[in-house]
Amino acid sequence: MSAVTAAVARQAASPLGAREATALLLYRNFLAYRRAWYIFLTGFLEPVFYLFSIGVGVGQLVTGFEVDGRTIEYAAFVAPGMLAASAMNGTILDATFNFFFKLKYNKLFDQMLATPLTTMDIARGELSWSLLRGGIYSAGFLVVMLLMGLVSSWWAVLVVPAALLIGLAFGGVCMALTTFMRSWQDFELVTLATLPMFLFSATFFPVTAFPTWLRWVVECTPLYRGVVLCRELTTGTVSWASAVSVVYLVVMGVAGLLVVRRRLDRLLLT
Amino acid sequence: MTATDSMIWAQGLRKGFGDVEAVRGIDVDVRRGEAFGFLGPNGAGKSSTMRMVAAVSPISGGELRILGLDPAVDGPEIRARIGVCPQEDTLDTELTVRENLFVYGRYFGLPRKEVRARVDELLEFVQLTEKAGSMVEDLSGGMKRRLTIARSLINRPEVLLLDEPTTGLDPQARHVVWDRLFRLKQQGVTLVLTTHYMDEAEQLTDRLVVMDKGLIVAEGSPLDLIAEHSTREVAELRFGVAQEGDTHEVVARQVEDLADRVEVLPDRLLLYSHDGEETVAKVHERGLEPVATLVRRSTLEDVFLRLTGRTLVD
């Protein structure tokens, strides 16, 4: 009974710092996923399959594209697009369905708010986890690209941080949208937005194939910014214009994070 | 009265949700080491009060101090020092029993080694050591509740908040939970609990407030409240199926002079008096033949009935 005798003694509990709190939420999610590691596998394999079927298969019928005045083979064109898409897809899995489950069904955040953790800790921790998942997929994909000789620049080492930025942007916005979802069906809307992005964001062919007005639209979408950023890194065509993509993705992610925090306040601290 | 020497101190505390006022101005003062209860039916404002005290629900009016701190300013500090056992289990269903306690303890900023030691001790305390490796979903309702209680003790709280701690449990599981809570009380942990079970309130609390429709309608120890608002004994009389309308109403008028007070419930009459057996005998003398009679001590249920005209559990 010593535990309980001590229950009246002074305790050492105290609110956590931001970094510590984030690390703890990552740890909690790691524990929960440890038993279901195989679901990570499908998310990783999806873009790999696309790379083989379209990049390599269809690629035999395509001569390749010009990127920054240099012609690169088709697979090397498609691969960074798949890498960016895998960061997006990996992130969205946790930022939508899993976040919704924790928020509405598992009551996980209600539990956390009975401790010194704050809604900001939760928003930050969950976003970190989802972008990390996207980052892990992308890192794995980068290894595949290396093995296939599809990387032509040392800049490529920065493609993993770039993938984390894509995760930040999509994670932040998707988590924010998820706080407004009423049922599982509402998530079809997310698919409705991400599928065309996946297909048309210069992933499989350059935007020059579009009429000018449509090209402008595509260039404003977040996945396009991620795809060109990754392609610039893996083909070594980095320029100041790449910074535009970086700023775009950071702003999107931070805006999402702030909305998530506000929404959690409204939903949970009633 | 000051806020500093109270564990929980509220004055004119209010909580509104849109047009609905769940708590309509209550004064509360809970002292260190006390077992304090909020007794009332569903919808009385007990849970809303508890959520405000747990520093997860902003107050709508009045003043509230927990451990002398303002929840609007010091939420995380307050939550670091209290334990919360919510009405609905919020266990982490994706983790094992042990992981639930370990991760939760870590949320309080406690070092790994310390948490590990506390987890072992608490598992022992709530008799779940053998279930340490099980997933939460595989536990019975009573076990989940005990795990939730263990979890709420991981930070060695100065105040333990329990919202309806045994609602939904079978009688045996309830007694196990009561036993654990009683031990905590004996160790001097300040307990604050809500309940709509009068036996729970009588067993566990030193002092309680009776809540109804967002207001406190009475305050005192269980015994004082009974002495003040009810008689020593109650005779419960049940008469046959109504032949012509309100049989119980009719009988009530015939016996109202035999007791201090008569209450008519849908299925029975309650006659409040000092000596229940004597009252029953007098009823028989009048030639009335109840189908069933029961003489018992007054309980908080009777206090509530007296104060609000309604029963606690309906």
Residue B302 lies in a domain: no
Is B94 in the same domain as B181?
A: yes
Domain end residue (candidates: B194, B225, B256): B225
Residue type, B223: L
Assess: ipTM above 0.90. no
Nearest to B155 among A1, A13, A16 (CB): A13
Domain span including residue B271:
231-297
Helix (H, G, I), strand (E, B) or coil at B144: helix
Contacts of B56 in chain A (CB under 8 A): 110, 113-114, 268-269
Nearest to B93 among A15, A106, A117 (CB): A106
Paired with B162 in beta bridges are B85, B193
pLDDT at A9: 43
Residue type, A168: L
Residue B305 lies in a domain: no
Is B102 in the same domain as B142?
A: yes
**Which residues of chain B from 179 to 218 reach within 8 Å of chain A, CB to CB?**
183-184, 187-189
Task: Return the percentage of chain A with pLDDT > 70, whole number.
Answer: 96
Q: Is the pLDDT of residue A173 over 90?
A: yes
pLDDT at B289: 86
Over range B198-203, report the average pLDDT: 88
Helix (H, G, I), strand (E, B) or coil at A266: helix
Q: Provide φ and ψ at B35, rounded to 5°.
A: -110, 110
Task: Return the percentage of chain B with pLDDT > 90, whole number.
Answer: 73
Is B220 in the same domain as B249?
A: no
Over range A49-67, report the average pLDDT: 87
pLDDT at B93: 93
Strands B207-212 and B35-39: parallel
pLDDT at A1: 42
- The Cα–Cα gap between B54 and B72 comes to 11
How far B218 CA lies from chain A's nearest CA (Å)? 27
Over range A83-109, report the average pLDDT: 93
Residue B304 lies in a domain: no
Q: What is the pLDDT of residues A211-250, one digit of tens each?
A: 999 999 999 999 999 999 999 999 988 999 899 999 999 9
pLDDT at A35: 82
Residue A2 lies in a domain: no
Domain end residue (candidates: B209, B225, B241): B225
Give the orientation angle of helix A74-93 with respect to helix A159-178, to 10 degrees. Answer: 40
Q: Is the pLDDT of residue B2 over 60?
A: no
Residue B39 lies in a domain: yes
Is B174 in the same domain as B284?
A: no
pLDDT at A8: 42
Our measurement of the distance from residue A57's CA atom to the centroid of its chain's CA atoms, rounded to an integer in Å, reads: 27
Residue A25 lies in a domain: yes
pLDDT band at B237 (very low <50, low <70, confident <90, very high): very high
Tell me B261's DSSP state. Answer: E
Residue A3 lies in a domain: no
Instruction: Determine the Cα angle at B310 with ends B306 and B313, to 5°.
Output: 120
Instruction: Say if CB A128 and CB A26 are below 8 A apart.
Output: yes
Over range A66-77, report the average pLDDT: 85
Is B112 in the same domain as B238?
A: no
Is B221 in the same domain as B240?
A: no
pLDDT at A5: 43
Q: Do B104 and A106 touch (CB under 8 A)?
A: no
Residue B114 lies in a domain: yes
Over range B162-180, report the average pLDDT: 90
Q: What is the pLDDT of residues B178-191, one digit of tens each?
A: 998 999 998 889 99
* Distance (Å) of CA A116 to CA B73, B76, B113, B140: 13, 4, 19, 29
CATH number at residue B263: 3.30.70.1510
pLDDT band at B313 (very low <50, low <70, confident <90, very high): low
pLDDT at A2: 44
Nearest to A7 among B58, B84, B153 (CB): B153
Residue B138 lies in a domain: yes
For chain B, the straight-line distance linking the first and the last C-alpha, in angstroms and rounded, comes to: 37
User: Which residue in A1, A2, A4 has the most chain B C-beta atoms within 10 A of its own C-beta, making it the best mutation to test that interface?
Assistant: A4
pLDDT band at B240 (very low <50, low <70, confident <90, very high): confident
Residue B308 lies in a domain: no
Task: Return the percentage of chain B with pLDDT > 70, whole number.
Answer: 96
pLDDT at B129: 96
Q: Do B187 and A3 touch (CB under 8 A)?
A: no
Is B34 in the same domain as B93?
A: yes
pLDDT at A40: 80
CATH number at residue B218: 3.40.50.300
pLDDT at B131: 97
What is the residue-wise DSSP string for B54-94? TTSS--SEEEEEETTB-HHHHHHHHHHHEEEE-SS----TT
* Strands (E) located in B74-172: 82-85, 159-163
pLDDT band at A71 (very low <50, low <70, confident <90, very high): confident
pLDDT at A55: 86
pLDDT at B256: 87
Domain end residue (candidates: B164, B195, B225): B225
pLDDT at A183: 94
Number of domains in chain A: 1
Is B45 in the same domain as B28?
A: yes
pLDDT at A152: 87
Is B45 in the same domain as B175?
A: yes
Q: What is the pLDDT of residues B75-99, one digit of tens each?
A: 999 999 999 999 888 999 999 999 9
pLDDT at A12: 65
Number of domains in chain B: 2
Residue A1 lies in a domain: no
Residue B280 lies in a domain: yes
Task: Return the percentage of chain A with pLDDT > 90, whole number.
Answer: 74
Q: What is the pLDDT of residues A187-215, one digit of tens each?
A: 999 999 999 999 999 999 999 899 999 99
Q: Do B114 and A16 touch (CB under 8 A)?
A: no
Residue A56 lies in a domain: yes
Over range B246-268, report the average pLDDT: 85
Q: Do A269 and B17 touch (CB under 8 A)?
A: no
Contacts of B59 in chain A (CB under 8 A): none
Q: Do B76 and A15 touch (CB under 8 A)?
A: yes
pLDDT band at B103 (very low <50, low <70, confident <90, very high): very high
Is B199 in the same domain as B214?
A: yes
